[in-house]
Amino acid sequence: MLAAFALAMAGLALASPASAVNPAQVSGTVTSVDSGLPIQGVLVSLLGGVAAYGTSTDAAGLYSFASVDAGTYKIQFAAQGVTTESFVTQWWNNSLVQFYATSEVLNDGDIKSYDAQLATGGKITGTVTGNEGAGDFAINAFLQDPGNPANFLQQTFTMAAGDGTYTLRGMAPGNYHISFGDNDQGPSQTRYSLESWSNLWYPAGDIVTVVGLETVPDIDAELSVPGPVAVSRIAGADRFATSAAVWSDPLDYPDALGGTVYVANGRSFADALGAGPVAALTGSPLMLVEQDSIPAAVRTQLLRIAPAKIVMVGGPAALSVNLQNELGTLIFAPTVSRIQGVDRYDTSRELIRAGFDLLAPVDTLVVATGANFPDALSAGPASATRTNSPLLLVNGLGSSLDFPTLSIISEMDPGSIVIVGGTSVISSAMETALALTGHPVTRVAGADRYATSTAINAYFFTPAASKGYLAVGTGFADALSGAARAGAEKAPLYVTPPTCIPIDDMLAMRTYELLNLYLLGGPAALSADVESLYRC
């Protein structure tokens, strides 16, 4: 099915550190499979070793690397820069997807020759218009991963002409989603919203199938200028001040509110992840504290809200007895209790027993790894969209369910179980073990933490959501309290890189037509570019 990518190889290897006395050498020729003529301007890259290498083919189609570190590499031939833009970009060994490409080991002193022939691909054509006139329109084609049809990978990019017409060339045979957007980026530059064909974010959009060298015509789009989205930042001087700021709105959380406040250790994530969905059930604040003290900003917020009850989450190793005593002596004299287990997984189970009505039908049990935080950050608010639906943290890399986990699943008797995250965090063996409990099991996952976050929100939320939250996917500190607030408001929380918003998230938020977007944390966590809705 994949376009021809004929390879002639006398072996391949790459060398050792730049200081090596006898580094490896790699060279070859790139020609057209159709005409046999050399192709100039093909970018040849060696990727995956201790360093990356890139060069372009000359008029004779030749390329060479004179000094390469030893290591394991994959080779990419990127023909997008070729004037005709008609050749398919392919990975070495006839694979269009880097993941499936065969790796080669290069040793010091190796001299390797690697020739390739690139095939001409098909075309997709159409017209992009804007409902407010012209725009600098960009078109991206995302190729369906033949090994995992749920994944789509960017394969081809082009810009529309002044009249809105475009041609995507060099399309390998396969299935694609096509996205359209404004190419301008940065503060006050993006005019038109990102959309995919049929105005859906691309994993849910229509599929365009390319066969052979055919041209698929009339893949058109009309882009609109999005309505105003109010972007706000919730941040404090540190994680504890940010945690307090989440609950500072006097309208939603007024003075002398009473009720219950949950507190968890802000130096680790497991207890707060489990506590978020429980706090969200009653719209109760979740604040972060030190193991042995109440940070000043949190103390101020506690004094203002004056809860009747404070629930500590975690044992004395997480929240000390001294802290418990200090909380009990606050001037509003709260009742202080503790929910704890022997470890993070047991604490998660005890939180479910304390917060959810296990005598009533449990709609959905959401299962996430307790060893890391990104999947559970998005899953907590998502679980709040279902009636009486807990989030359970598990050791996802085990081969079977332990008795305490089996026991609580039996107590809940959920209508369904949803695993969030791929097999690298919750194994196939664990998925099988969950299915053996007799409940329908679905896995929701993406290629990485950001794609998984998008997939979770797409699975649980409907376009009725009017608020959304963004949290950095590389740290948990600012997001833990925000996840509890998002859950209380039944709003999606997306984890993003610190400097941009993934295209999936942009398209999904376009679908939801969010009116308010809240960034959790200061510019060190989510940059000014994220605040300006700069897309990755």
User: What is the rounded distance in angstroms from the CA atom of residue 127 to the CA atom of residue 222?
Assistant: 8
Average pLDDT of 397-402? 88
CA–CA dist 2, 33 (Å, integer): 14
Q: How far is CA 469 from CA 265, 359, 447, in A?
A: 22, 32, 21
Q: Are 103 and 72 in contact (CB under 8 A)?
A: yes
Residue 331 CB-density burial (10 A; 0-12 exposed, 13-18 middle, 19+ buried): exposed
Q: DSSP class of residue 525?
A: T
Give 421's DSSP letter. S
Q: Is residue 19's pLDDT more than 50?
A: no
- DSSP conformational letter for 423: T
SS3 353: helix
Return the bridge partners of 142, or none: 154, 177
- Tokens 């929380």, located at residue: 493
Give residue-wise pLDDT tens across range 465-498.
788 999 999 999 899 999 999 999 999 999 999 9
Q: List pLDDT tens digits, range 258-283.
A: 999 999 999 999 999 999 999 999 99
pLDDT > 90: percent of the chain:
60
297, 240 contact by CB (below 8 A): yes
Q: Is 246 helix (H, G, I), strand (E, B) or coil?
A: helix
Distance CA 347, CA 339 (A): 7
d(CA 433, CA 436): 5
Helix, strand or coil for residue 487? helix
Q: How confident is the model at residue 430 (pLDDT cuts 50, 70, 90)?
A: very high
Q: How confident is the model at residue 461 (pLDDT cuts 50, 70, 90)?
A: confident
Give first-to-last CA distance, the chain, whole Å. 30
Provide the pLDDT confidence category of residue 437 given band limits of 50, 70 and 90. very high
State which amino acid sits at residue 433: A
Find the mean pLDDT for residues 435-447: 93
Q: How, if at all, do strands 195-196 and 14-15 pair?
A: unpaired
Which amino acid type is present at position 410?
S
Query: With bands split at pLDDT 50, 70 and 90, how would you rate the model's confidence at 80?
Result: low
DSSP track, 76-131: EEE-TTSTT--BPPEETTTBSSGGGSPPEEE-TT-EEEEEEEEPB-EEEEEEEEET
Q: If you average pLDDT over every residue of the chain, what do you get?
A: 86
Neighbours of 17 (CB within 10 A): 12
How far apart, in whole angstroms, are the C-alpha atoms of residue 509 and residue 193? 10
Give the burial class of 223: count Cβ atoms within 10 A of its Cβ; 0-12 exposed, 13-18 middle, 19 or more buried: buried
pLDDT of residue 197: 65
Q: Residue 187's pLDDT band (boundaries 50, 70, 90)?
A: very low
| Alpha helical stretches, state H, 312-390 | 321-328, 344-355, 374-383
Lowest mean pLDDT among 181-185, 385-389, 461-465, 510-514: 181-185
Exposed, middle or buried: residue 10 (CB in 10 Å: 0-12, 13-18, 19+)? Answer: exposed
pLDDT tens digit sequence for 274-314: 999 999 999 999 999 999 999 999 999 999 999 999 999 99
Question: Which helix H or strand E contains 32, and what residues bound it?
Answer: strand 24-32
3-state secondary structure 253-307: CCCCCCCEEEEEECCCCHHHHHHHHHHHHCCCCEEEECCCCCCHHHHHHHHHHCC
Contact 459, 382 (CB under 8 A): yes
Which range (101-110, 242-251, 484-493) has the least confidence?
101-110
Whether the CB-CB separation of 168 and 203 falls below 8 Å is answered with no
CA distance 104 to 39: 24
CB of 450 closer than 8 Å to CB of 505: yes
Burial 58-85 (b: 16+ CB within 10 A, else e): eeebebebeebbbbebbbbbbbbebeeb
At residue 463, the pLDDT reads 67
Which range among 143-147, 247-251, 411-415 shows the weakest confidence by mean pLDDT?
143-147
